Amino acid sequence: MNEQVKRNADRFPSDFALRLDKDEFDNLMSQFARSSSKHGGRRKLPLVFTEHGAIMAANVLNSKRAVQASIQVVRAFVRLRQMVASNAELARKLHELEKKYDAQFKIVFDAIRELMTPPEPKRKQIDFQTK
């Protein structure tokens, strides 16, 4: 991937791909299990891609897997945009209704706004079961 980005540098401006700094990389790696081996490993800090960079990265790779990844990336971003647009439209309509009605409906509008806020994902508790 690094080689493809280097070969196609004109396709990856700074708002498409950037390199993590040491602190960002350490923070990221602290969230994943990794080998404790001191041999080999990463010589450069990794690249990260924005929405546009992810699509471009999928397009510069030519394997069947990369083509499938490109299709999935495009589908995911299209769906994300639809969800954001839908939520923005709902918020706009709610704001219009709120201006139209008096304060007695404030609790209703607050409840609707709370329902529009996505819930935080529930984390599965990790524990050991004994017999």
Q: How many CB atoms lie within 10 A of CB 110?
A: 11
Output the pLDDT for position 70.
75
Amino acid (1-letter code) at residue 84: V
Which stretches does DSSP call E strand in the chain? 17-19, 47-49
CA dihedral 90, 94, 100, 104 (to 10 degrees): 160
Per the document, the length of the chain is: 131
pTM score: 0.46
Output the pLDDT for position 34.
59
Amino acid (1-letter code) at residue 65: R
pLDDT in tens, 5-23: 888 889 888 888 888 888 8
Residues 42 and 9: beta-carbon distance below 8 Å: no
pLDDT in tens, 73-120: 778 877 877 877 787 777 787 777 777 776 666 777 677 777 777 777
Q: Which residue has the higher pLDDT, 99 or 127?
A: 99
Residues 72 and 61: beta-carbon distance below 8 Å: no
pLDDT in tens, 38-75: 555 667 788 888 878 887 887 787 788 877 877 887 78
Q: Is the pLDDT of residue 37 over 60?
A: no
| Helix, coil or strand: residue 37 | coil
Output the pLDDT for position 3.
83
Token pair of 95 as six digits:
């704001």
